[in-house]
Structure 1
Amino acid sequence: MQKIILLLFIIVFPGACFSQDSLTWVLATTAVKRDGKEIHIGEKVADINFNRILNNNNKRTTLYNFLDKPLIIDFWHQYCTVCVGEFSRLEKLRQRFKDSVNILLVTFQSNTSTNEFFERRKAEGKPVLLPCVTEDTLLRKTFGHEGDPHIVWINTNGTVQAITSHIALNETNLSAWLKHGNIDLAVKSNQRDFDPYKPLLVNNNGGASGAFHYRSVLTGYIDSIPALSLFVRSDDKQTKLAAFNTTIDQLFKDAYAMFDTTAASYLNLDWLNKRVLYEYQDSSTAQYYSDAYDAGYGQLTAFQRNHLYCYELDLPVTFTTQQAAGIMLDELSKLFAIKPFTETRSVTGLALIRTADTDRLKTKGIAATGRIQQDSTMIVKDMPVSALVNVLNLNYYFPLVVDETGYPGNIDITIPLKEKDLHAVETALMNYGLALVPKRYDMPMLVLESFK
């Protein structure tokens, strides 16, 4: 940080300044080094000798000589445009509070350089009348900071009561300070080890990790955390959306289901994304994830590293879940060059129909269940036909199944379910008076399309 400060100092100095005022350069280099005891709010400052001071009857004096009244110390230098711009406002404050507050300017610049600067201001009709300590390094070390102007508020006992930016130094706050004998103002603090080239708020770089108002993060596969579908967490401060170790299509689908309530009615039940059309190049879909899993460790590991992502979005709590999902979709679109939209498309599916006049489906009322057992047997007990359709649609290798049975009640059905053997499933369904018939459907689909 000291290197950055010195570099900025070099940039703002006129080229001839170093040869004409080498003392200022030496003092600046010394002043920014943090190698002294620093004083903080609530602590008492020691008396300090001032050997160079302008606009004061005595050319040499001490800090305590200014504590006959509450004292404002304003650290500045003439190459700080904000500092110089504050002089007219400080003059008004001096006139308004001259009987009740002392205002002391402090700079590391040489007495000669500062005096010449004040003379130029005077010739321009903008004199600086406040007393100014020059060639200072000790006060700046005592109240270590990064960046001028820097304001310190000290009471008549020598106790530091506030350390603020120049913005806090106004008539309202000065009046309140004098009336109450103390004041609570936002503290100006500068992180010494802040590195602008490192991620903000990571490892407290620039502040605590939770100090952001908005944040989004996209990473690749992280093998040390589990895979989690998109979830929402809201508290009194933030609305968060997050998904971990998931595919591109799953990120889009889950976000779209949150964003579009109409699409949610069919996407939320579409466990294997059969209502999603992939029209982007090199799609790394959940289907391929399943294939990689079946192929063994090597292909699975390669797929995870190349095609899985973690995404997190944090927003102020004023954002609704739907608004957050919209932002997520917009970000994903830009990051992956994919446009998501819903559109009615013609797709090939399987219609589940009844083929028997007798009822072979009616439940016996055993405890409701709908699942696929480890031995690849599908069981649906005392549940509607929709449960059977949902279980059938949990097979990547079957087309989308649509219920056209019109059966009103709950059913009992148990059939073998081989992953890639649709014929075996169709044969088993025949025993229950059911059939799967290929059919074209015009239905709303989520389309993921590459930017053209």
Structure 2
Amino acid sequence: MMKKITALSVLALLCLNFCVNAQENKAVDVIKRGLQIGQMVPEVKLTNLYNYKSTTANLSDFKGRLVILDFWATWCQPCVAMIPQMDSLQKVFGNKIQFISTTYQTANEVIPFLKKFEKQQGRHFSIPVLTDQKELNALFPHVYLPHYVWIDGEGKVIAITDHKEINAKSIQEALLRQTSSFQKKADMQVAYDPRLPLVASSDLGAVNKIYYQSLLTGFIDGLHSGYNTRYTIKSDLPRKVTFTNISIETLFSVAMGEQIRYFRRNQMIVELKDTLAFGRVPKSLTYKEWRKTNAFCYELIVPNNLRLDVFKIMTEDLRRVFSQYIVGFEKRKVKCLVLTKTADFGKIDISKLVPVSPDDNKLKKFANVTFTKFIYHCNSFYMQHSKLPVIDGTGYLGKVNIELTGFENVNKINLELAKYGLAFVEKEAEIDMLVFRDNPLYVANKTPSKDEK
């Protein structure tokens, strides 16, 4: 999640890891700032090891094997999807290779997640996992996950790739020192200050004087896929929303949700002849290839008197520019996870309300929030992988304090919600579905493309 004033990142198929400032507003390859192919890796002490014979080791302990460092995170879906494949390859090649999964996340975050994933998959994964890692991240800087560094038996970097090279053929070639055909990964990053307008020229002296601006561009190399909303403190300053390199689908869903409701794909109906622009990436394209021609950047800056209408204005902009689509809400009866009051609902303590902070959210504490806001957080982040829409069925409009230790699965959540007299119940409910259709009145040659100047 991007840090607030108020901010929320929307992660795409490839996951953003961390930002490194570029210079001169030009996109640069962050990977080039670390060790390069052909260089020797210095000795590194590996601590906080899980799934290994000890909790510590030296990188040199694996000398003689092909070592593949897997940089990942639990929230990165492509990373998690690679775990079974890496485990199978480890078993096939045995002591000839060694995968080591490394993450900046803590053991308290990672180990319960892995245990749950093993239970879901019905198998144990034996790859060593390195948590709380900083030194390897410093040696091999990167932006997008998953990220793989290949080190030969002598300790030399022989390849830096994404997940596409993680297969038996590539490993066999690496063992034979034949990695010239590997596609080298490049993580482009550009200097970007979210406090400033997305496109601004300091030479004009007007950067901090913009009163109103609505901007839509195509893909901008070096920016991650996500969005943030900025609430200003002073009444004479504008409110700003910025979206970078994301799909039309996400633009509409956030705008029409107005940060009150969050529409994931489990609450969308896409009835289009061509779904490419809506993030349905075919197997013939990589995500990076797709976003170059299908991702957009949008920014809206409004004066204080329009701050309550910012998402309505955004929706109008989108409907005006993307008039080839009809987008709207329709009531549909679908299976949902409904937050429901139980007989012990009165146990909720609303007498001591304290301001919520970003750190509270990370600790899964919800203070002084409505159930509407709680459900918004569940849909947008904590329960974002739910196959069913998560909705509020309590009918309670007041503010509450809720503290949970985790969102591993519905049963675990309900065990903790029970102390508040609450539970998520799976049942059918009539809810708003966000529907996308082709506009039969749209005339293509009268609507400019995003590449037109």
Q: Same fold (TM over 0.5)?
A: no
TM-score by length of 1: 0.38
Larger Rg over CA atoms = 1
Q: Which has the higher contact order (CA 8 A, sep 6+)?
A: 2
